[in-house]
Chain A
Amino acid sequence: MRTGPELADVVVKDAKGRDLRLGDVWRDKPAVVVFVRHYG
């Protein structure tokens, strides 16, 4: 399964509110990306 450009191109925000392209998370090395239900 490839993520395709769609998932990689989703713009998320870091904890400081700055925009970040999700694909940048795994750009340099493999990444475990855990999606939580919610904070708390």
Chain B
Amino acid sequence: MRPHALEFEQNGGKLAVVGNGWPAAAKAWAEHVGFPPGVQVLTDPSKKAYDLAGFKRSAALTLLNPRSILRFVRANLHGFRQGRTAGDPWQQGGALVVQPSGKVTYRYVSFGPGDHPSPAALVDALRQARAA
């Protein structure tokens, strides 16, 4: 996501990344990833926002998902290594695009590790949110 972070600003929006570990973990991770200054890195230790957004929490989705295992192998072959887990290991993620009115114009619910929308899909959703 980091290589595409500026595209959201260039398209009239912003990017925020929410995790569920402690703030110190968010800070260390943000520094490691090297997001541009405009990107907000936040944490929701209560996972209340995850719950309200309808994101999944499941050990089976994490450990027993054949697609996720395939994605894990593929990512490792391309040199991407997962670091130490900081947060709930069973919590799945997702993405929202939200207008200033509070209307959610895009929602992606992840069903396992490595299951996430492409940056291009998010930029497109952002453009549509601005045009709506």
Residues of A at the B interface (CB closer than 8 Å) are 1-4, 6-8, 10, 12-17, 20, 22-23, 25-40
Q: Is the CB of A31 within 8 A of B82?
A: no
Contact of A26 among B1, B20, B100 (CB under 8 A): B100
Q: Is the CB of B97 within 8 A of A40?
A: no
11 A-B residue pairs with CB within 8 Å = A6-B52, A10-B44, A15-B27, A17-B24, A23-B102, A26-B98, A32-B15, A32-B96, A34-B95, A34-B116, A36-B87
Q: Is the CB of A39 within 8 A of B87?
A: yes
Q: Is the CB of A39 within 8 A of B25?
A: yes
CB distance from A39 to the nearest CB of B (A): 4
Q: Is the CB of B25 within 8 A of A33?
A: no
Tell me the dominant secondary structure on chain A's binding face: mixed
Contact of A14 among B42, B45, B85, B92 (CB under 8 A): B42
0/1 interface trace, chain B 60-96, chain A, CB 8 Å (1 if under): 0010000000000000000000111111110111111
Given contacts A14-B23, A35-B53, A38-B21, contact A30 B100 (CB under 8 A): yes
Per the bound structure, the CA–CA distance linking A14 and B19 in Å amounts to 10
Most chain A beta-carbon contacts within 10 A, residue among B14, B29, B46, B87: B14
Given contacts A3-B104, A26-B100, A39-B29, contact A34 B84 (CB under 8 A): no
Contact of A33 among B18, B86, B103 (CB under 8 A): B18
Q: Is the CB of B87 within 8 A of A37?
A: yes
